[in-house]
Amino acid sequence: MKYAPRKVYIRESGGYVELSYTDFCRCRESDQTYMDKLFIPIQGCLLEVLREQYTDFYRDKERWRYLQKLDTKNSLLSLDGFTDREGNPLDFIADEAADIAETVVNAVMVDRLKAALPLLSDSEQELIQAIFFDGLSEREVGERLGITQSVVNKRKARILIKLRKIIEN
């Protein structure tokens, strides 16, 4: 077994008895009937079930694995994969109130920015590339270029002013 379950629940006289995993192991060594019991994992615990429940559980589990394998093979995306770090589903519903004029203005500004970037010097392009496209911090850029973070910050500010002037003309 890959892990030791927190608890094991054994069916006895119409209900369940809770055992620690070590107690369960001791009982299994001393009483042969424990070897014939069937368990399914639920939330880090083992729960004794009837043979029919056991087969249904593992048949469903195997079916789910098979479907996931098919999805991967056929390059299908599952909505289960679109969650944030906490497991909350991401919102994919389009915003009906999206301002088309704003979208057009943003697209024009991106085009102007793309045209303005080649007008910068190589060192200016390198700095903009590192900060805005490679996602490096000013400190990391400074270490890469052998200058301080404050110098990187001042250069970045000057370059952004220069870009703004180029774009506005």
**What integer pLDDT is reported at residue 92 of this predicted model?**
61
Q: Render pLDDT for 56-87 as a digit per residue (tens, 0 to 9).
A: 999 999 999 998 888 888 877 666 667 777 76
Q: How confident is the model at residue 158 (pLDDT cuts 50, 70, 90)?
A: very high
Least confident residue range of 43-47, 80-84, 161-165: 80-84
Question: Does the pLDDT at position 97 exceed 60?
Answer: yes
Q: Name residue 147's amino acid.
A: I
Across 17-29, average pLDDT: 88
Domain boundaries, the chain: 5-72, 98-166
Q: How confident is the model at residue 14 (pLDDT cuts 50, 70, 90)?
A: confident
Across 125-133, average pLDDT: 89
Average pLDDT over the chain reads 85
Q: How confident is the model at residue 132 (pLDDT cuts 50, 70, 90)?
A: confident
Q: How confident is the model at residue 35 (pLDDT cuts 50, 70, 90)?
A: confident
- Got the DSSP string for the chain? --S--SEEEEEETTEEEEEEHHHHHHHHHH-GGGGG-EEEEETTEEEEE-HHHHHHHHHHHHHHHHHHHHHHHTTPPPGGG-B-TTSPBP-----TT--HHHHHHHHHHHHHHHHHGGGS-HHHHHHHIIIIIS---HHHHHHHHTS-HHHHHHHHHHHHHHHHHHHH-
**What integer pLDDT is reported at residue 139 of this predicted model?**
94
Across 131-138, average pLDDT: 89
Supply 125's token pair: 């392009």
Interacting residues of 104 by C-beta distance below 8 A, sequence separation 6+? none
Range 98-166: architecture per CATH: Orthogonal Bundle (1.10)
**What integer pLDDT is reported at residue 72 of this predicted model?**
80
CA distance 24 to 12: 14
CA distance 129 to 76: 34
Edge-first strand listing for the sheet containing 7-12: 15-20, 7-12, 45-49, 38-42
**What integer pLDDT is reported at residue 2 of this predicted model?**
62
Interacting residues of 165 by C-beta distance below 8 A, sequence separation 6+? none
| Among 150, 147, 88, CA closest to 123 | 147
